[in-house]
Amino acid sequence: MSHLLARDLDHVLRQTAGLWDELRGQRIFITGGTGFFGCWLLETFVHATDTLGLGATAVVLTRDAEAFRRKAPHLASHPALHFHVGDVRSFKFPDGSFSHIVHAGTTSSASEPPRVLLDTIVQGTSRTLDFAVHCGAKKFLFCSSGAVYGKQPAGITHVSEEFLGAPDPLDSGSAYGEGKRLAELLCCVYAREFGIQVKIARCFAFVGPYLSLDAHFAIGNFIRDGLAGGPIRVSGDGTPYRSYLYAADLAVWLWSILFSGASCRAYNVGSNVETTIAALAATVAQMFGQGMKVSIARQGNPEQVPERYVPCTERALEDLGLRPIIDLEEAIRRTIAWQRVEATANGGE
């Protein structure tokens, strides 16, 4: 499917020009390399190493290499990528040295009990940091989450890295956010003890090819509904505010933070352009044509302050020159086009 992403891959390479030289002849290690984030990291990595002649290779941790081969055979067979089977909490260390590590491995908060989720995040980060020390890695990117801030206060429209709120530790639903908080702390402890440059990306919400359409991501569910002919169903009242960064821009931000971000300094990763869930559903419907209907499950309470999950991204702009480039409508349009071709390739309509 790489040819379908050619425009996006060229976009990423243009935006990261000059950053890739430090990978020349190097080996990197990636956890979570077969999920949504991981596929974009692998697509952009192989495009950069092929185009620029970097001679770099990546070892990718996966629990099921054969499943990934079925999902993305062009990546699974690429000579710059090698797959290492194991669980992120207990994987056997690959041989040899590595210059960079990207730790994007986690599990979905909607698919695992809180105990398993917390253990996977914390133990997986600890194990990957131990490997970073073992293999002599100099730079380590940790893909954290905006969930570390807990519930965004009503008076804050865009939450910044300086906000010191936190998830409720007495709520088992906070396992994901608390796990990411503790993992960030682990990263900085290792950075200070072992001299690793640890970069922290607090990721919010995204859209793009490879995004699951059947998980707990509203925008993915809306696209799924549209591809099925509609209606697009909003399960709540549509009042919460979200923002979405396109996956190609996400890749630009992650690589830029790995290569150029300050150690033990968190960067929000996402779009600062907010939209309500109801407006998002309408935007997705518009991409499918005027006949597409939107169904909202219940009416909002005008006395209730809408929930928000929207980042302030000024730090990424000021420190690294990062900003959203591909707007939401275009992002949705490209995602739908990719999903249609993939469905056809897999025997769907």
- Give me the pLDDT at residue 106, please: 76
Average of per-residue pLDDT across 106-114: 73
CA gap 191, 265 in Å, rounded: 11
147 part of a folded domain: yes
CA gap 56, 99 in Å, rounded: 10
> Which CATH number is 72's domain given?
3.40.50.720
Domain span at 105 = 2-207+244-270+308-326
Phi and psi (nearest 5°) for 115? -60, -45
Average pLDDT, the chain: 94
Q: Which residues contact 18 (CB under 8 A, 6 or more apart)?
A: none
- Give me the pLDDT at residue 108, please: 57
- Give me the pLDDT at residue 349, please: 44
pLDDT tens figures, 11-38: 999 999 999 999 999 999 999 999 999 9
Lowest mean pLDDT among 47-51, 162-166, 296-300: 296-300
CA gap 114, 119 in Å, rounded: 8
Task: Name residue, tokens 């998980």.
Answer: 215
Q: How many residues does the chain have?
A: 349
12 part of a folded domain: yes
24 part of a folded domain: yes
- Give me the pLDDT at residue 214, please: 87
- Give me the pLDDT at residue 152, please: 96
122 part of a folded domain: yes
The region, left, alpha or beta by phi > 0 then psi within -120 to 50, assigned to residue 329 is alpha
- Give me the pLDDT at residue 55, please: 98
- Give me the pLDDT at residue 227, please: 96
User: Domain count of the chain?
Assistant: 1
Coil/strand/helix, residue 100: strand
151 part of a folded domain: yes
On the question of pLDDT at 90 being above 80, the answer is yes
CA gap 275, 282 in Å, rounded: 11
Beta-bridged to residue 140, according to DSSP, are 101, 198
pLDDT tens figures, 323-346: 999 999 999 999 999 999 987 776
Coil/strand/helix, residue 302: coil
CA gap 64, 306 in Å, rounded: 40
220 part of a folded domain: no
pLDDT tens figures, 94-104: 999 999 999 99
300 part of a folded domain: no
Query: What band does 313 get if pLDDT is binned at 50, 70 and 90?
Result: very high
108 or 235, which is more confident = 235
- Give me the pLDDT at residue 249, please: 98
Task: Name residue, tokens 């993915």.
Answer: 220
On the question of pLDDT at 274 being above 90, the answer is yes
pLDDT tens figures, 71-83: 999 999 999 999 9
pLDDT tens figures, 162-197: 999 999 999 999 999 999 999 999 999 999 999 999
Residue burial 175-190, b: 16+ Cβ < 10 Å; e: rest: bbbbbbbbbbebbbeb
**Hey, which bits of the chain come out as E strands?**
27-31, 57-62, 81-85, 100-103, 139-145, 197-203, 206-207, 232-234, 241-242, 245-246, 266-269, 275-276, 294-296, 308-309
178 part of a folded domain: yes
Q: Which pairing describes strands 245-246 and 57-62: parallel, antiparallel, or unpaired?
A: unpaired
Coil/strand/helix, residue 160: coil
